[in-house]
Structure 1
Amino acid sequence: MPKITTPDGIQLHYEEAGEGTPILFIHEFGGNHESWEPQMRYFARRHRCITYAARGYPPSDVPADVNQYSQLIAVADAVAILDGLGIAKAHIVGLSMGGFATVHFGLHAADRALSLTVAGAGYGAEKQFEEYFRGVSLEVAERFEAGAAEFAPVYAEGASRVQFQNKDPRGWREFADRLATHSSQGAANTMRGVQARRPSLYDLEAELAVMEVPTLVVVGDEDDHCLQPGIFLKKTLPACGLSVFPKTGHTLNLEEPAMFNAILAEFIAQVEAGAWKKRDPRALPGQIMRTK
């Protein structure tokens, strides 16, 4: 299995396919590198596509120390993958936990990003739910630590996962079965070290407002705790577009693969053509109708 060693000595499993402009896919907490298979198959026709298992997700290493997991470490791992493959710049695509990593990639490694696609990112960002999210994250960590196989069926039927289950029972079952194979320790440490400790997007407003990497935000309209953060990112990032998928939950790329692939392909095409620009300054948010 191909692996890349990070600066702190962790081995990360990666897979790649295709040739062309690179795309790096960063998976969510409930998934792993295999969660991007519909995108790897589609985009490898004209891009060099790379996906990897985050630290804590076999066959990557599973550090026992929770302090070897954090939001900034997640960004450093993504950069390590690019470095290990000799890639100077790539389109960065992330879902949920991977979406947060993508945002922070833009903040801390903007010179390595051709574009950012931030899908389903928002859990824990809403200030009114911030403390609740930290508490429930620690509870989820305990449940995973007791046994991923036992807790996976519960986690997989969350309020923003049932949309996937209803639309595509076979696809959802594959997702749930894969979740059950996750490392109990890796899942618990990821939840404690990354999810529960990451800053709210709203606390990063000043930094986001000057981050000019072309960005696409994608949200499902039934992914309630990502909707408002998605709108916030749209309004805050200078070169950001927002796509909302109807009747869709959190597991966007698997729940609606054709729609996801189409909107991502169009976004990347516009970026590579130089057509995805910052918002026109004439598009004043406070203006309803022009009178002068």
Structure 2
Amino acid sequence: MPSAIANGVDLYYEAHGQGPVILGIHGSPGSAVLWEPAAAELGTLGTCVVYDRRGYGRSGAPAPFDATDLDEQVADAAALLDRLGAESAVVIGRSTGGLIALELARTRPQRVRGLVLLEPALLTVDDDTRAWAARLRAKVLDAAGDDPAHAAEAVVRVALGDDTWERLDPGVRELLRAGGRAVLAEIRGRGLDLSAEPLALTEDDLTGIDVPALLVSASGSPAPLHRAVQWLAAGLPNAAAAIVPGGHLIDPAHSVVLEFVGRMTA
């Protein structure tokens, strides 16, 4: 299994294809396992690298792993690019991964040549979105109890719906539940979507992120996620937006994404 010590943590990663680097960042909870079919398709357009974020799947985490900040998650992604010898990449982020990708582009613009945000979890765009995130945070902490796996399940049930959770393959459910410790570490940290101090950007912050960007929302997702996409699409100077069928687990290799990435890697 390929892995790299990046930012002091052993990160598991996979590389598909060859050519310009396409970096995929999964959500919370999640794993590169959920990106494997998409990574194979994206690998026809370049070298698609997907990895397990710290504390998830096959990647390590510091001991004790009580909290992790957005800055740390961004540094992990940048350090992985360094270890792979990639000066820049087309970066695709889904949900919390989209928040990390957005902050990577804001703080390290030279590392991002194109940006795909699949319902990024920037849940501070208005009062209603903040209130929704606060309710979700409280629900997750209440559900966790003595078993972190319940925290991960609670996040997925809210984002995807109870019916979708029940229809997931049992192996996928267990994979997601195994990320509960990392979900709680993100909640206890700073800057991530369900933390007590989530990232808040201004319109001026957005004007400085001038890389080509594609923002994608799903027709069946919760309204706060739609509002986050709309706010970003209106504020980013070089952005396009698309709506696709389905729910929050948007396919990173959807046709609208493949078309955009193809232009970025051509």
TM-score, normalised relative to structure 2: 0.86
Match of 2:248 in 1: 250
CA 1:123 to 1:206, structure 2 compared with 1: closer, same or farther past 3 Å?
closer
Distance 1:23 1:82 in 2: 10
Distance 2:198 2:157 in 1: 24
Match of 1:127 in 2: 126
CA 1:54 to 1:117, structure 2 compared with 1: closer, same or farther past 3 Å?
same
User: Are the aligned partners of 1:42 and 1:261 in contact in 2 as well (CA < 8 Å)?
Assistant: no
Aligned length: 259
Shift of 1:39: 1.1
Which digits, 9 at most, give the CA deviation of each residue in 1:16-59, with x for residues without a partner? 12111111000000211112112112122342111111112142
Q: Give the match's secondary structure for 2:19.
A: coil
Which digits, 9 at most, give the CA deviation of each residue in 1:56-107, with x for residues without a partner? 214212232434x111111111001100111111110000000001110110
Match of 1:26 in 2: 25
Shift of 1:139: 4.4
User: Are the aligned partners of 1:74 and 1:101 in contact in 2 as well (CA < 8 Å)?
Assistant: yes
Q: Percent identity?
A: 24
Q: Write the mapping of 1:1-292 to structure 2, written as runs, cut at 5 A.
A: 1-7=1-7, 9-63=8-62, 64-67=64-67, 69-122=68-121, 124-129=123-128, 130-131=130-131, 133-134=133-134, 136-141=136-141, 143-144=143-144, 146-150=146-150, 152-158=152-158, 160-161=160-161, 164=164, 169=167, 171=168, 173-182=170-179, 184-193=180-189, 194-195=192-193, 196=195, 197-200=197-200, 203-223=201-221, 224-246=223-245, 248-253=246-251, 260-272=253-265
Letter in 2 for 1:264: V
CA 1:272 to 1:12, structure 2 compared with 1: closer, same or farther past 3 Å?
closer
Which digits, 9 at most, give the CA deviation of each residue in 1:139-186, with x for residues without a partner? 4145346224455555433253457569xx4x555532321232x432
Letter in 2 for 1:228: R
Q: Give the match's secondary structure for 1:219.
A: strand
Which digits, 9 at most, give the CA deviation of each residue in 1:108-140, with x for residues without a partner? 111011100000114522421425524532541
Q: Give the match's secondary structure for 1:157.
A: helix
CA 1:147 to 1:218, structure 2 compared with 1: closer, same or farther past 3 Å?
same
User: Are the aligned partners of 2:29 and 2:177 in contact in 1 as well (CA < 8 Å)?
Assistant: no
Which digits, 9 at most, give the CA deviation of each residue in 1:198-219, with x for residues without a partner? 213xx33211112110000010
Q: Give the match's secondary structure for 1:252.
A: coil
User: Are the aligned partners of 2:123 and 2:228 in contact in 1 as well (CA < 8 Å)?
Assistant: no
Letter in 1 for 2:47: R
Letter in 2 for 1:189: A
Q: Give the match's secondary structure for 2:157.
A: coil
Distance 1:94 1:159 in 2: 16
Q: Give the match's secondary structure for 1:76.
A: helix
User: Are the aligned partners of 2:29 and 2:56 in contact in 1 as well (CA < 8 Å)?
Assistant: no
Distance 1:178 1:93 in 2: 21
Which structure is larger by alpha-carbon Rg, 1 or 2?
1
Distance 1:99 1:211 in 2: 14
RMSD: 2.4
User: Are the aligned partners of 1:143 and 1:151 in contact in 2 as well (CA < 8 Å)?
Assistant: yes
Distance 1:151 1:207 in 2: 32
User: Are the aligned partners of 2:122 and 2:199 in contact in 1 as well (CA < 8 Å)?
Assistant: no
Q: Give the match's secondary structure for 1:116.
A: strand
Distance 1:105 1:237 in 2: 14
Shift of 1:242: 0.3
